[in-house]
Chain A
Amino acid sequence: MSMGVYFRRYWQLYALLVLPLSYFLIFKYGPIYGIQIAFKDFNLFQGINGSEWIGFDAFKEVFGMRDFYITLRNTLMLNFLDLLVSFPAPLILAIMLYELKTAWFKKLSQTILYIPHFISWVIIGGIVYQVFGTQSGMINNLLTSVGLEAIPFLTDKNDWLVTYLLVGVWQSAGWGTIIYLAALTGINKELFEAAGIDGAGRLKRIWHITLPGLKPTIIVLLIINLGHMISIGFERPYVIGNLAVREYSDVLSTFVYRIGIQSGQYTLATVIGLFQAVVGLVFVLGSNYVSKKLTDESIL
């Protein structure tokens, strides 16, 4: 089939891609033009082209700010702890769900586990306040009524870390199971039966069949997660955090919000954005490389 005939016959397939391609060109590649703001003294009224070049001055200013290092440390710390705590949670949940044979119970528990994912962080913030407050939170009301000391879940920085992580697990673990459950359906059922006949118990089956079957999924997710190490969502730390624990709760995204949007210093905010993008790229490539060497699984 000549190229001409091929295109005449299948042009619709290519036409279908025009929309998604233009989306990426306009919204993902177009904005790269704006990176030059990081090297300019950006003036709102002159626009990008009218603003003056300042070289690396803005980088020097950002790297000289104490808050930058604190928020950078907190971003990495919260993400790393999240990886330790929140990453295995959906995996374990998915395996537990997979082992269930009663269909209605399985469906019911899945639904219950998904729901938190659909609640906005602002509302979760309100719930957290009601549940974990020191003066009149539910848990502390219980503790004090039986004569125990109240625990400052939200106002002591270490207690707050635990609260932050567990709320994250509660919110996202159920939703995270979906991808594992999908991968699990791809494992050949005969493997389990054969293993059963050979005398493998439930734990052995999980160890030798389920987990190896999930390995590619786990690794892909891990690489993606590592790529996000340097960036952090805005809502969760902003809503759950408070002044008493700012030492830990102030992260790059809240810092950018304060500097970029609230104080209108777009140049500095762009510098931080660029920094995050570069470090994120290094993380993704690095973890991809390591994974390729160690396990032969990779996403690139």
Chain B
Amino acid sequence: MTANTTKKRFIASKTSMLALLVVSTMVFTACSSKSETSTNGGDNGKPADGKQVTLKVEIFDRGNAPAGSTITDNYLSKFVQEKFGNNNNVKVEYVPVPRSEEVAKLNVLMASGSDVPDIVFTYDPNTFNRYAKQGGLTDLGPLLEEHGKTLKTFLGDEVLEYGKFEGTQFAIPAKRSITGKYASFIRQDWLTKLNLPVPQTTDELYTTLKAFKEKDPGQTGGQVIPLGMTIASAQYEPLLWSFIQSMTEEQQYTLTQQLGSNDYPVLLPGFKDGLQFMNKLYNEGLISKDFGLDKDKKKMSEDIQTGKVGFFSEDDINIYYKDGTYDLLEKTVEGAVLSAVDVYTNDQGKHAKPQYAPNGLYIMVPKSSKNAVEAVKYLDWMASDDNLFNLQNGIVDENYTLVDGIPVTNENPTEEAKNRLFNSGDLAIISNGKQLGSLEDNLKARVLSMPAQFHEQLAIAQEIAYADNIPLVVLDRPIEAQTKYATTLLDKFNEIIVKTTMSKPDQFESTYTAMLKDYMASGGQAILDERTAAYKEMKSK
């Protein structure tokens, strides 16, 4: 056993969860080292010409492999081997990592040194920064120049910028096909019943919510939840960000706190007003008493499906899936209609809301990898010709038909066709979402992948998600305090929302002050200081 895993085990003895992790690592280590000797002949040096190289690629395991396939051996893995591997004398081997413990497992893999895959990835920018800072990643800049021309063009400079750490290209960020995030939804049939117009501003929304509460148009027997709220970002972000006031550039750069891949408004002017509004909604019974327990939106989705919720904000696409929230609502409540609307309004009369960063996964090649060249070639292959298209869409006529150049998923594919793409999203790592060359086509393709009765509404929701987006604040150097404190502060941020919202109105002020003080002391101040310094440095250049 290596020294690293021994050390892991020491920490692990503290909690059973960690212990589990270690056990899984050991099992894993055993497996991978075996397969390495069998396929690679123990040769870890630079591949001599004519000698086959084994390229190990991480893949998320969601435990959903259909019968006849495994996460490491399936239609797509064979496709890759045939189209890429055989042409380049590379054996591509997938290394499964459970989706739910992605970062933890990745840490263990990285620490193991020799067993780490040649291509790894994470959604967490802090993890990427930490690896880069500790000197564990390969500089991909020169390799991209030499072997990744197509990939570079596909991703573009803006996306690639996200993979730089202090100016060096330590990661290849995946390109996100759609960056719109949120829309809001209202029970149109309730409005019609009460003879109310669609609310256009936050103030009007308040009046509407009040009416929902008092008149209970859904006849829920007093169980009505006028505003569906949770402690997941899709519900609170659109509300809170609409309270953020106009700022100077300096305020934007220094006061924003980036925790993980999102910006957080905790120090921005107006944030407190947003909390105050939530406090008012809570104390007047307009949001669920248990919203602070609902981290995964499960309870809220259930309440929407059973027709208790009047209004809510959500990822633009989430309610439209087959057998999803809207589908089930229509089945449970006769005549229920949800309309996509844009309501929360800021001080300039805009429906300001956050958007996604243009990148998705951070794809990395560990420094200990001997196959960095093949790794870049693999990603470059994926971006070339119609390879990505085939990985994402499967086989024409069996999986999709082309309508005006846009692949439309077959509504009733054969079992074989359906199983073909079960891991498509996790294998086609260079892109987050389907890429068809233009945003317009990407959006159209997404609409067409949903049940026909929702096409029109989803198109509206997508448009709303793109309206008045607040751009992410990009600093030209990593903020160390963010990497260090993000997880802790994210928890504290959610705690601030829950505690201030649930406090009695007369205790709001004191709760807010105490919580903010705790936030600042736990790393918020350190981030603020570092960002202020970074801004000054940027301006002085």
CB distance from B230 to the nearest CB of A (A): 11
**Complex partner residue of B502 from A27, A136, A244, CB under 8 angstroms:** A244
**Which residues of B sit under 8 angstroms from A273, Cβ to Cβ?**
10-11, 13-14
Question: Residue B384 at the A interface, CB < 8 A?
Answer: no
Evaluate contact between B293 and A269: CB separation under 8 angstroms.
no
Instruction: Give 20 A-B pairs besides A263-B485, A270-B7 with Cβ atoms closer than 8 angstroms.
Output: A26-B1, A30-B9, A45-B111, A45-B131, A47-B3, A66-B522, A67-B488, A67-B522, A134-B289, A136-B299, A150-B289, A243-B231, A243-B292, A246-B495, A253-B14, A256-B11, A258-B487, A258-B491, A261-B104, A273-B10
Nearest 6 CB-CB pairings of A with B: A34-B10, A34-B7, A45-B136, A234-B15, A31-B10, A134-B289
User: What string of 1s and 0s marks CB contacts (under 8 Å) between A75-87 and chain B?
Assistant: 0000000000000
CB distance from A299 to the nearest CB of B (A): 21
Question: Residue A168 at the B interface, CB < 8 A?
Answer: no
**B104 nearest in chain A by CB position:** A261
CB distance from A247 to the nearest CB of B (A): 9
Question: Residue B141 at the A interface, CB < 8 A?
Answer: no
Question: Residue B203 at the A interface, CB < 8 A?
Answer: no
Which has the most chain B C-beta neighbours within 10 Å: A27, A137, A263, A269? A263
**A256 nearest in chain B by CB position:** B14
Evaluate contact between B10 and A155: CB separation under 8 angstroms.
no
**Which residues of B sit under 8 angstroms from A34, Cβ to Cβ?**
6-11
**Which residues of A sit under 8 angstroms from B494, Cβ to Cβ?**
243
CB interface residues, A 233-251, toward B, < 8 Å: 233-235, 242-244, 246
The answer for the CA separation of A246 and B498 in the assembled complex, in Å, is 10
Question: Residue B257 at the A interface, CB < 8 A?
Answer: no
**Which residues of A sit under 8 angstroms from B299, Cβ to Cβ?**
129, 136
**A140 nearest in chain B by CB position:** B289
Q: Decide: A235 near B111, CB < 8 A? Known: A31-B6, A260-B11.
A: no
CB distance from B322 to the nearest CB of A (A): 25
User: What string of 1s and 0s marks CB contacts (under 8 Å) between B1-24 and chain A?
Assistant: 111101111110111111001000
The answer for the CA separation of A263 and B502 in the assembled complex, in Å, is 29
**B13 nearest in chain A by CB position:** A31
CB interface residues, A 38-64, toward B, < 8 Å: 42-49
**Which residues of A sit under 8 angstroms from B491, Cβ to Cβ?**
243, 246, 258
**Complex partner residue of A262 from B110, B223, B487, B498, CB under 8 angstroms:** B487
CB distance from A107 to the nearest CB of B (A): 31
Question: Residue B288 at the A interface, CB < 8 A?
Answer: yes
The answer for the CA separation of A33 and B13 in the assembled complex, in Å, is 13
What is the count of residue pairs linking A and B with beta-carbon distances less than 8 angstroms? 158
CB distance from B528 to the nearest CB of A (A): 17
Q: Which of under 10, 10 to 19, 20 to 34, or 35 or more describes the interface residues of B? A: 35 or more
Evaluate contact between A253 and B498: CB separation under 8 angstroms.
no
**Complex partner residue of A235 from B11, B17, B131, B518, CB under 8 angstroms:** B17
B: residues with CB less than 8 A from A are 1-4, 6-11, 13-18, 21, 103-104, 107, 110-111, 113, 126-127, 130-131, 134-136, 223, 225, 231, 288-290, 292-293, 299, 367-368, 484-488, 491, 494-495, 498-499, 502, 518, 521-522
**Complex partner residue of A31 from B9, B486, B488, CB under 8 angstroms:** B9
User: What string of 1s and 0s marks CB contacts (under 8 Å) between A118-144 and chain B?
Assistant: 000000000001000111110000000
The answer for the CA separation of A136 and B110 in the assembled complex, in Å, is 45
User: What string of 1s and 0s marks CB contacts (under 8 Å) between A135-160 and chain B?
Assistant: 11100000000000010101100000
**Which residues of B sit under 8 angstroms from A263, Cβ to Cβ?**
126, 484-488
**Complex partner residue of A49 from B3, B14, B502, CB under 8 angstroms:** B3
Evaluate contact between B495 and A264: CB separation under 8 angstroms.
no
7 CB-based A-B contacts, threshold 8 Å: A31-B10, A44-B110, A129-B290, A134-B289, A136-B223, A253-B15, A258-B491
Q: Count the A residues whose beta carbon is within 8 Å of the partner chain — how many? A: 55
Evaluate contact between A30 and B495: CB separation under 8 angstroms.
no
**Which residues of A sit under 8 angstroms from B17, Cβ to Cβ?**
234-235, 257
Evaluate contact between A48 and B7: CB separation under 8 angstroms.
yes
Q: Decide: A270 near B289, CB < 8 A? Known: A234-B17, A246-B495, A261-B107.
A: no
Main secondary structure on chain B at its contact with chain A? Answer: helix
The answer for the CA separation of A242 and B131 in the assembled complex, in Å, is 31
**Complex partner residue of B498 from A49, A244, A260, CB under 8 angstroms:** A244
**Which residues of A sit under 8 angstroms from B111, Cβ to Cβ?**
44-45, 47
CB distance from A269 to the nearest CB of B (A): 5
**Which residues of A sit under 8 angstroms from B7, Cβ to Cβ?**
31, 33-34, 37, 42, 48, 266, 270
Evaluate contact between B290 and A37: CB separation under 8 angstroms.
no
Question: Residue A74 at the B interface, CB < 8 A?
Answer: no
**Complex partner residue of A48 from B1, B4, B135, CB under 8 angstroms:** B4
**Which residues of B sit under 8 angstroms from A129, Cβ to Cβ?**
290, 293, 299
**Which residues of B sit under 8 angstroms from A242, Cβ to Cβ?**
292-293, 498
Main secondary structure on chain A at its contact with chain B? Answer: helix
CB distance from A36 to the nearest CB of B (A): 8
Evaluate contact between B110 and A45: CB separation under 8 angstroms.
yes
**Complex partner residue of B290 from A32, A35, A66, A134, CB under 8 angstroms:** A134
User: What string of 1s and 0s marks CB contacts (under 8 Å) between A265-300 and chain B?
Assistant: 110011011001000000000000000000000000
**A152 nearest in chain B by CB position:** B289
The answer for the CA separation of A152 and B498 in the assembled complex, in Å, is 14
Evaluate contact between B14 and A265: CB separation under 8 angstroms.
no
**Which residues of B sit under 8 angstroms from A233, Cβ to Cβ?**
15-16
**Which residues of B sit under 8 angstroms from A133, Cβ to Cβ?**
290, 293
**Which residues of B sit under 8 angstroms from A155, Cβ to Cβ?**
289-290, 292-293, 502
**Which residues of B sit under 8 angstroms from A32, Cβ to Cβ?**
10
CB distance from A35 to the nearest CB of B (A): 6
Evaluate contact between B290 and A243: CB separation under 8 angstroms.
no
**Which residues of B sit under 8 angstroms from A235, Cβ to Cβ?**
16-17
**Which residues of B sit under 8 angstroms from A30, Cβ to Cβ?**
1, 6, 9
**Which residues of A sit under 8 angstroms from B499, Cβ to Cβ?**
243-244
The answer for the CA separation of A281 and B21 in the assembled complex, in Å, is 26
The answer for the CA separation of A196 and B48 in the assembled complex, in Å, is 91
**Which residues of B sit under 8 angstroms from A222, Cβ to Cβ?**
none
**A244 nearest in chain B by CB position:** B292
Question: Residue A231 at the B interface, CB < 8 A?
Answer: yes
Question: Residue A259 at the B interface, CB < 8 A?
Answer: yes
**A258 nearest in chain B by CB position:** B487
Evaluate contact between A135 and B290: CB separation under 8 angstroms.
yes
CB distance from A193 to the nearest CB of B (A): 46
**B103 nearest in chain A by CB position:** A262
**Which residues of B sit under 8 angstroms from A231, Cβ to Cβ?**
14
**Which residues of A sit under 8 angstroms from B18, Cβ to Cβ?**
257, 260-261
CB distance from B510 to the nearest CB of A (A): 14
The answer for the CA separation of A259 and B14 in the assembled complex, in Å, is 13
**Which residues of B sit under 8 angstroms from A66, Cβ to Cβ?**
518, 521-522
